[in-house]
Chain A
Amino acid sequence: MSTVLRLASITKSFGSVTANDHVTLELKEGEILALLGENGAGKTTLMNILFGHYAADEGTVKVFGKTLPSGRPRAAIRAGVGMVHQHFTLAGNLSVLDNVMLGSEPLLRVRSRRAEGRARLLALSERFGLSVDPDARVSGLSVGERQRVEILKALYRDARILILDEPTAVLARPEALCLFDTLQSMTRQGLSIIFISHKLNEVMAAADRIAVLRGGRKVAERTNAETSPEELAELMVGSRVTRPKREAHAIGAPRLVAEDVTVHLDSKPALKGVSFTAHAGEILGIVGVSGNGQVALGSLLSGVAAPETGRLTLEGREIGGLGPRALIAEGVGRIPEDRHAEGIVGELPVWENGVLERLATPRFARYGFVRRGAARGHAAGLIKRFDVRGATPEMRIRLLSGGNIQKLILGRVLAAAPKVIIANQPTRGLDEGAIAAVHAELLRAREAGAATILISEDLEEALSLSDRLQAIVGGRLSQPVAAGEADSRRLGLMMAGVWEELGNAV
């Protein structure tokens, strides 16, 4: 088999951070290579260099024996490289055909050859079994369909090397299996594929060869046959910061209870009759593939959305639709799903962000005026107690790293000693050190008797923290299972909506 792609000694740094440190990688024709590594290991940067989004500081990219000029996506496309981004780069207001054809014709052609384009798209979708409607508007497509459009877009440009960045992050298990089938059939037709992942089992299942990145370096390369998930885990993580463990302890009385709650978002039902009970001193994990109602659940529990029907009670008092301020007053602490979009106002200083959600309380305001001394002192306390590195109360919060922003948000929540904590994707996108810190704080709050709802797409996290778990699928919740009776396989099935036959609820 000939080498179709060769990355030689690629180095790239952003400021003081070295994202890629002399990484060398080869891809053979007709092979599926997995690029395995944790968040922040440098996988995406490496692929962005290959595709020309970034220019490398050092090193060369050779495709079919020819060196690519750096920093030029167009050259990569011409050479036959296609990339499927993790966050799809599609325009929702335009049609599938528009999205696929963009950039495939000379810009100054006086008439776009749409009929030919459509025929070609349909032929490709037939050949690779990726069915799409060329005239559908992208905003109306499901996540899986959008991914198909992205792949077709690459194939339309005669891509012979396909790069997929975390392709299964947004897919349910059956969809993911289907995707890997498609990829296999593509390699049989002569394509070569790199996919980026941090999931061991899918790497073992789908890849011919596996390259492991850690801290910007390639630490190992194995063929599928010569390695095991255990070895890969060790290679990927290295000497990892140990995540704190959940200790068994007695669970208290019911705190937060939802009974048959329905929530509408944009006047469409997004939560359909969900019920759960979170007890004092318990972490209740809600697991699921993204887009299955987590947003509505988070909005409901944060006080941003009100229940259409059903009851949501805290220690017996109705709290559905109270609004954020009243919820906080009732003792609910909220960690938002998207910390940059919802958790902070980036342009405001750390101290204002530290008190924004409790700005109207007597502790931080008097006669409508902000008690700046108290607020600043509070922020300084949070920074110290929750080890928010590099922060001062006066500094604009957007200059902090994601992990430190999350620590501040967590501190803001925990400092109020909440009865209930809503933790929505609390560690998404954080590095290992920050994850361990967040987990430790959540477990400490559990020890102290808080009832926690942990909404997470990360199975490992959900399994290690939760006392009980429920799966969210299509806006419905499964029956809860005890952590001791759950494993990845069973949770995977639950997340695919196969829970009725599993029975034996807790």
Chain B
Amino acid sequence: MIESLDLLFSASLWAAVLRIATPLIFGVLGALLCERAGVLNLGIEGIMTMGAMIGWLSVFLGADLWTGLLVAAAAGALIGLLHALLTVPLGLSQHVSGLGITLFAAALAYYLYRLIVTVGESPPTIEPFRPLDIPILSDVPFLGPVLFAQTAPTYLALISVAIIAYVLARTPLGLAIRMTGENPHTVESQGLDPTLIRIGCVMAGSALMALGGAFLTTAAFNSFFPEMVQGRGWICIALVVFSSWRPGKALLGALLFAFLDAYQLRLQAVVEGVPYQLFLMAPYLLSIVALILVARRARVPEALMTPYRRGER
């Protein structure tokens, strides 16, 4: 018991929270951006898988780490474009198209991976992002290792939260995006093109999702293997609801979830006699509980999942 509480004061736990949260932050931001414009993107799980694979592959083939992230983001945007084309101009079911995108992107990622790494071979590794160890700051006790010795993409994720929050709340473009998710006809009547806005948001959001995946292979681990995304995408979809479609709260949700995940990992070592699967289940079950708590109060973008057709009401 004492030990489980002691864990809460270890810097390594809190450092792990930020690390575990990073892919979720990217993912939840991406999903949030899509949904704020009115498009549910269930392609997230597959897009994250693709991002993980492409990020790793680019570096494996000789690109530097940042280029790897960039290529992963571009791949994500491309897959996002596919989802956007199917759901926005064609107006197909966002549920079914998204699931199809997930199946497709994950399958494609595994296929391409297997073209390079055959079955049975141990997954080839790359040299991943190193913790930054910001001079002086990282030597501060406790706070140093937690806040100032993360890998660069973690800081990128935090900066992205600020950027997305600012864009949505403070710029004309953000207002147009929000309005597209609420009432695309209004956007059209102001001479803006809701179709383009939606496509753009789905592409940008998907690029962020792919970055979340790429973080896994270029910073958290150093190789790619199938099933490595492990439902993180779906958790992000739940976190968006939990956050009421607000970037700040989304960050909070991702951190909370990562905390639970990091804590249960460490508890496993301390608490004996409880099967480890129960600990692993906890984050998924808690996500569902979180959804139940907020579902009634959630202020869903009004036009979410409603296809927009010009001249139709």
- Answer yes or no: A and B touching, Cβ < 8 Å: yes
Spell out A's residues near B (CB within 8 Å): 51-54, 72-77, 83, 85, 87, 89-94, 98-99, 101-112, 114
Contact A89–B183 (Cβ < 8 Å):
yes
Q: What string of 1s and 0s marks CB contacts (under 8 Å) between B166-190 and chain A?
A: 0000111111101100110111111
Residues of B within 8 A of A90 (CB): 183, 186
- Chain B CB within 10 A, most for which of A51, A90, A107, A111: A107
A93 near B301 (CB under 8 angstroms)? yes
Interface membership of B313, Cβ < 8 A: yes
Closest 10 pairs between A and B when the two form their complex, measured CB to CB: A74-B191, A103-B190, A91-B182, A105-B172, A89-B186, A91-B183, A73-B191, A107-B173, A102-B179, A112-B172
A120 to chain B, nearest CB (A): 15
Cα A77 to Cα B186 in complex, Å, equals 13
Bound together, the chains give a CA A94 to CA B187 distance in angstroms of 13
User: With a CB–CB cut-off of 8 A, which chain A residues contact B189?
Assistant: 51, 53, 73, 83, 85, 89
9 additional contacts (CB under 8 A) given A89-B186, A106-B172: A91-B186, A93-B182, A93-B301, A98-B175, A101-B172, A102-B190, A103-B192, A109-B172, A111-B170
Q: How far is the CA of A73 from the CA of B299 in the complex (A)?
A: 30
Interface string of B262-273 (1 = CB under 8 A from A): 000000000000
A–B Cβ pairs within 8 angstroms, 7 of them: A53-B189, A53-B311, A76-B191, A83-B189, A102-B172, A102-B176, A112-B175
> A114 — which chain B residues lie within 8 A by C-beta?
170
Q: Are A98 and B178 in contact (CB under 8 A)?
A: yes
B139 lies within 8 A of chain A by Cβ: no
Q: How many Å lie between the Cα of A17 and that of B189 in the bound state?
A: 25
- Given the complex of chains A and B, what is the CA–CA distance between A94 and B303 in angstroms? 13
Q: In the assembled complex, which residues on chain B have CB atoms less than 8 Å from the CB atom of A94? A: 178-179, 182
Indicate if the CB atoms of B190 and A77 lie closer than 8 Å.
yes
Determine if A103 and B311 form an interchain contact, defined as CB atoms under 8 angstroms apart: no
Q: Tell whether A91 pairs with B170 under 8 Å between CB atoms, given A73-B188, A102-B190.
A: no
Determine whether the beta carbon of B172 is less than 8 Å from that of A107: yes
Those of B77-127 within 8 Å (CB) of chain A: none
* A107/B191 in contact, CB under 8 A: no
Supposing A110-B171, A112-B170 touch, asked if A103 and B187 sit within 8 A by C-beta, the answer is: yes
Closest to A77 in B: B191
Q: Chain B interface residue count: which class?
A: 20 to 34
- Considering the complex, give the chain A residue whose CB is closest to the CB of B182: A91
A92-B302, A94-B178 are known contacts. Are A102 and B186 too (CB-CB below 8 A)? yes
**Which B residues touch A99, using CB under 8 A?**
179, 186
A101's nearest neighbour on chain B, judged by CB, is B175
CA distance A327 to B220 in the complex (A): 63
Report B149-177 CB contacts with A as 1/0, cut-off 8 Å: 00000000000000000000011111110
Closest Cβ–Cβ distance, residue A339 to chain B (whole Å) = 15
Cα distance A93–B313 in the bound complex, in angstroms: 19
What is the chain B residue whose CB lies nearest that of A83? B189
Interface centre among B172, B182, B192, B301 (most CB of A within 10 A): B172
Residues of A within 8 A of B174 (CB): 112
B191-A112 in contact (CB<8A)? no
Closest residue to B301 on the A side, CB-wise? Answer: A93
Instruction: State whether A103 and B178 are in contact (beta carbons under 8 Å apart), knowing that A53-B311, A93-B301 are contacts in the complex.
Output: no
Quote the shortest CB–CB distance from A153 to chain B (angstroms).
Answer: 9
CB neighbours of B182 from chain A (8 A) = 91-94
- Of the candidates B174, B178, B191, B299, the one having the most CB atoms from chain A within 10 angstroms of its own CB is B191
Whether A72 lies near B191 (C-beta < 8 A) is: yes
Expressed in whole angstroms, the minimum distance between the Cβ of A109 and any Cβ of chain B is 5
**Given known A-B contacts A90-B186, A91-B186, A103-B191, A98 and B311 have beta carbons under 8 A apart:** no
In the complex, what residues of A have CB within 8 A of residue B190's CB? 73-74, 77, 102-104
Inter-chain contacts of B302 with A (CB < 8 A): 91-93
B210-234, CB < 8 A from A = none
- Chain A residues lying within 8 Å of B175, measured Cβ to Cβ, are 98, 101-102, 112
Residues of B within 8 A of A72 (CB): 191
In chain B, positions 140-155 with a C-beta closer than 8 Å to chain A are none
| Chain B residues whose C-beta falls within 8 Å of the C-beta of A102 in the assembled complex | 172, 175-176, 179, 186-187, 190
Find out whether the CB atom of A91 lies under 8 angstroms from the CB atom of B179.
Answer: yes
Q: How far is the CA of A389 from the CA of B273 in the complex (A)?
A: 74
| Pairwise interchain contact B171-A103, C-beta atoms closer than 8 A | no
A residues near B188, Cβ cutoff 8 Å = 53, 73
Q: Which residue of A lies closest to B186 (CB)?
A: A89
Given A74-B191, A83-B189, verify A103-B176 contact (CB < 8 Å).
Answer: yes
A102 to B197: give the CA distance in the assembly, Å.
Answer: 14
What residues of B have a CB within 8 angstroms of the CB of A103 in the complex?
172, 176, 187, 190-192
Partner of B171, one of A51, A75, A91, A109: A109
Chain A residues with CB under 8 Å of B192's CB are: 74, 103, 107
Q: Is the CB of B179 within 8 A of A98?
A: yes
